[in-house]
C-alpha cells in the first residue's frame, strides 16, 4: 500500500475536520427521520422544525477538539463525556423553546424520547471513529514533519514539549541558539544542534519542513535577518514572539483588512459564540420566569408588607464595556443606596429586613435580574456587577479590574461558585473575585456556563456567605 504524502495527509485531515463538523447535525436529523419512518409517523410539522433546530444547535455549539485539529484526547472518556454534555445542552435548549412556544402539543413522545436517548450513543460512535482515524493518520511515521527551533527559551521549550506530547504529526529535531548548552541550562545538550548561523544549512541538509523562530521581540533585527536567510529553504517558517509573559485574555491571531494581527485581550463572545450565549440566556431566562411567576408575585407582596419602600430596588452598575446599566433586585433593606458611597451588606446587618434576610439567604432577591438578562444588559453567567461606587474604588487598586467588563455581567459566576461572594472587607477578597472572573473569560464555553449554573443551585442550599 502506498504511504501517505504530506499533501494527502493535509487533505485527509481537512476532510476529517469537515466530517467532524457536519456529522452531529447529520446524525441527529437522520436518526429523527429514521425513527419517524420506523414508527410509521409522517415526518412533517413539528418534526421538521425539531430537525432544523437540532441541526442548527449542533453546528453552533462549539466542540472542544475537532477531529482534524490535531488536538487529540488520549482517553475516550473525555470525548464521550463531551458529546453527552453537548447533547444535553441541545436538549435543554430544545425543551425550553418547546415549553415557551407550546409548539410540542402534538407529537409522538415515543419518537422524541427514543431519539433523545439514541442520538448521543450514535454521536459517540461517530466521534470516536473520526478521532481514531485522525490519530492513526497523525501518528503515521512517514508523514511526521521535522521541526527545528531558532532560539532556545521558555517559549520555544514549552512549545516543543507540547508538540512532543500531542498528535500534531511533527517531530522536534532540536534548537539553534548562540548560547551554549551550559548557559541555557538544557538537561539534554544533544538537542542543541548549533548556533543561529548554522540553521539554514542544517535545514537544507536534513529536509527540515518547519522552523519556529522564537527569538524575543527585542531581537527583531536578528529575526528579520533570519527570516531573509530562510528564504533560501523550502521550510515553512513561523514566528513565535515571546508575548506570553503577558496576562492574555482570549488570545488569538488573525487579520484585519489584510493586515496580520494578534489579539492579546478580547471578549470570548465574538462571532457565533455571542449568538450561542444569547440564545441560551433567552431560553433559560424565559423558562425560569414562567415557572417562577407565582413565587415572584408572593415575594413582591412580602416585600411590600415588610417595610416602607419600593418592591424593586434599582442600582447603577457597570455592564458590558463599562457602560452603566440599571440592575433590578427585590428590596431587602430599609435603605436604598446608589450614591458615591455605598456600605456593603455585612453579616447580621441591621438594615436587612426579616423578609430580606430570607431572600438573600437563598438569592431570591436576584430573580428580577432575569429581566436584565432578557433586556440584554446581563447574562445568566458572568462576572457579578458591582455598584458604580465600588467599581471606581477597586479599579484603582486591582490591576486588570476593568477587563472583567469585556463580557456582560452575570447573575452568578465562577467566583461565586468558588465561595467569593458576600462582603469584601479586604482588597484581597475583591482580588480573588477578579482572578476568577478573568479565569472565566479565558476559558469560557457553554459547558462551563451550565456547570456554573449547576454548582450555583447546589451552593444555594449551604452557602454561609449569603447574607
Is 24 in the same domain as 130? yes
For residues 131 and 170, state if they share a domain. no
Lowest mean pLDDT among 10-19, 51-60, 363-372, 433-442: 10-19
Q: Is residue 354 part of a domain?
A: yes
Q: Pull the grid cell for residue 104.
A: 410540542
Instruction: Give the chain's domain count.
Output: 3
Q: Which of 214-218, 310-314, 407-411 has the least mean pLDDT? A: 214-218
Q: Are residues 104 and 151 in the same domain?
A: no
- The Cα–Cα gap between 223 and 227 comes to 6
Q: Which of 12-21, 119-128, 265-274, 423-432 has the lowest mean pLDDT?
A: 12-21
Q: Is residue 232 part of a domain?
A: yes
Residues 6+ apart with CB under 8 A from 71: 65, 166
With a CB cutoff of 8 Å and minimum separation 6, the contacts of 322 are 402, 405
Whether residue 452 is predicted with pLDDT greater than 50 in this model: the reply is yes
Residues 152, 132 share a domain: no
DSSP string for 343-385: PPP-TT-TTB-HHHHHHHHTTGGGTTHHHHHHHTS-EEESPPP
Claim to verify: residue 323 and residue 442 sit in the same structural domain: yes
Q: Residue 202 is part of which domain span?
A: 144-245
Q: How far apart are CA 349 and CA 67, in angstroms?
A: 55
Are residues 404 and 300 part of one domain? yes
Same domain, 350 and 374: yes
Q: Is residue 258 part of a domain?
A: no
Closest CA to 277 of 403, 446, 49, 88: 446
C-alpha cell at 275: 449568538
Quickly tell me which residue has 548560547 as its cell.
179
Give domain status of residue 260, yes or no. Answer: no
Q: Which uninterrupted H or E stretch holds 412?
A: strand 410-412
Q: 316, 390 in Cβ contact below 8 A? A: no
- Indicate whether 106 belongs to any domain: yes
Q: State pTM to two decimals.
A: 0.59
Q: What secondary structure letter does DSSP report for 107?
A: S
Q: How far apart are CA 375 and CA 285, in angstroms?
A: 11
Residue 440 pLDDT > 60, yes or no?
A: yes
pLDDT score of 304 more than 60? yes
Domain boundary among 138, 169, 186: 138
Is residue 357 in some structural domain?
Answer: yes
To the nearest whole number, what is the mean pLDDT of the chain? 82
CATH code of residue 150: 3.40.50.720
CB atoms within 10 A of CB 190: 8
State whether 279 and 393 are in the same domain: yes
Q: Is residue 419 part of a domain?
A: yes
pLDDT at position 71, please?
45
Q: What angle do CA 461, 462, 467 make, to 5 degrees?
A: 95
| Contact predicate 234/205, CB 8 Å | no
| DSSP classification of residue 25 | H
Mean pLDDT of 119-126: 89
CA-nearest of 48, 82, 58, 67 to 451 is: 82
Pick from 156-160, 184-188, 450-454: least confident: 184-188
Q: Which three cell numbers stand for residue 341?
A: 458611597
Greater confidence, 291 or 334?
291
Domain-embedded: residue 259: no
CA 252 to CA 244: how far, in whole Å?
A: 12
Cα-to-chain-centroid distance, residue 6: 32
CB neighbours (10 Å) of residue 330? 23
Q: Do 290 and 373 share a domain, yes or no?
A: yes
pLDDT computed for residue 351 by the predictor: 86
Return the biggest CA–CA distance within the chain: 86
For residues 258 and 317, the model is more confident at 317
Question: Which residues, at least 6 apart from 113, have a Cβ–Cβ distance to it below 8 Å?
Answer: none
pLDDT at 137: 65
Residue 234 in this model has a pLDDT that exceeds 70: yes
Split at pLDDT 50, 70, 90, the class of 47 is: confident
Output the nine-digit C-alpha cell for 35: 425513527
Domain end point (choices 110, 138, 166): 138
Q: Which of 87, 120, 138 represents a domain boundary (last residue)?
A: 138
Band (pLDDT 50/70/90 cuts) for residue 424 is confident
Amino acid at each position: 500500500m502506498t504511504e501517505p504524502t504530506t499533501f494527502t495527509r493535509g487533505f485527509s485531515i481537512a476532510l476529517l475536520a469537515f466530517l467532524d463538523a457536519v456529522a452531529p447535525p447529520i446524525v441527529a436529523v437522520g436518526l429523527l427521520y429514521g425513527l419517524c419512518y420506523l414508527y410509521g409517523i409522517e415526518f412533517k410539522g413539528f418534526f421538521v422544525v425539531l430537525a432544523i433546530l437540532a441541526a442548527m444547535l449542533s453546528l453552533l455549539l462549539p466542540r472542544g477538539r475537532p477531529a482534524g485539529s490535531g488536538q487529540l484526547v488520549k482517553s475516550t472518556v473525555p470525548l464521550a463525556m463531551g458529546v453527552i454534555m453537548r447533547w444535553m445542552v441541545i436538549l435543554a435548549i430544545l425543551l425550553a423553546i418547546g415549553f415557551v412556544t407550546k409548539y410540542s402539543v402534538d407529537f409522538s413522545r415515543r419518537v422524541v424520547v427514543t431519539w433523545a436517548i439514541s442520538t448521543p450513543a450514535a454521536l459517540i460512535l461517530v466521534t470516536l471513529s473520526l478521532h481514531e482515524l485522525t490519530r492513526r493518520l497523525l501518528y503515521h511515521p512517514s508523514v511526521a514533519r521535522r521541526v527545528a527551533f531558532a532560539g532556545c527559551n521558555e517559549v520555544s521549550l514549552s512549545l516543543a514539549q507540547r508538540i512532543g506530547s500531542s498528535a500534531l504529526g511533527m517531530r522536534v529535531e532540536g534548537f539553534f541558539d548562540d548560547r551554549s548548552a551550559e548557559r541555557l541550562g538544557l538537561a539534554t545538550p544533544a538537542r542543541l544542534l548549533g548556533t543561529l548561523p548554522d540553521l539554514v544549512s542544517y535545514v537544507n541538509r536534513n529536509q527540515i519542513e518547519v522552523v519556529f523562530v522564537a527569538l524575543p521581540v527585542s531581537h527583531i533585527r536578528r529575526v528579520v535577518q533570519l527570516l531573509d536567510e530562510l528564504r533560501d529553504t523550502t521550510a515553512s517558517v513561523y514566528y513565535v514572539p515571546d508575548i506570553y509573559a503577558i496576562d492574555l485574555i482570549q488570545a488569538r491571531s488573525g487579520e484585519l483588512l489584510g493586515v496580520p494581527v494578534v489579539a492579546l485581550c478580547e471578549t470570548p463572545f465574538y462571532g457565533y459564540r455571542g449568538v450561542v450565549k444569547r440564545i441560551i440566556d433567552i431560553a433559560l431566562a424565559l423558562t425560569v420566569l414562567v415557572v417562577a411567576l407565582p413565587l415572584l408575585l408572593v415575594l413582591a407582596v412580602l416585600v411590600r408588607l415588610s417595610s416602607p419602600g419600593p418592591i424593586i430596588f434599582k442600582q447603577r452598575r457597570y455592564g458590558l464595556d463599562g457602560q452603566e446599566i440599571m440592575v433590578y433586585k427585590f428590596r431587602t433593606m430599609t435603605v436604598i443606596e446608589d450614591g458615591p458611597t455605598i456600605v456593603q451588606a455585612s453579616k447580621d446587618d441591621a438594615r436587612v429586613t426579616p423578609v430580606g434576610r430570607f431572600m438573600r439567604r437563598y438569592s431570591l432577591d436576584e430573580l428580577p435580574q432575569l429581566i436584565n438578562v432578557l433586556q440584554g444588559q446581563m447574562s445568566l453567567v458572568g462576572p457579578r456587577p458591582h455598584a458604580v461606587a465600588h467599581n471606581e474604588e477597586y479599579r484603582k487598586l486591582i490591576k486588570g479590574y476593568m477587563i472583567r467588563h469585556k463580557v456582560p455581567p452575570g447573575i452568578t459566576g465562577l467566583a461565586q461558585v468558588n465561595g467569593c461572594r458576600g462582603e469584601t472587607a479586604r482588597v484581597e477578597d475583591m482580588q480573588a473575585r477578579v482572578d476568577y472572573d478573568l479565569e472565566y473569560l479565558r476559558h469560557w464555553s457553554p459547558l462551563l456556563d451550565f456547570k456554573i449554573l449547576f454548582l450555583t443551585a447546589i451552593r444555594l442550599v449551604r452557602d454561609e456567605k449569603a447574607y
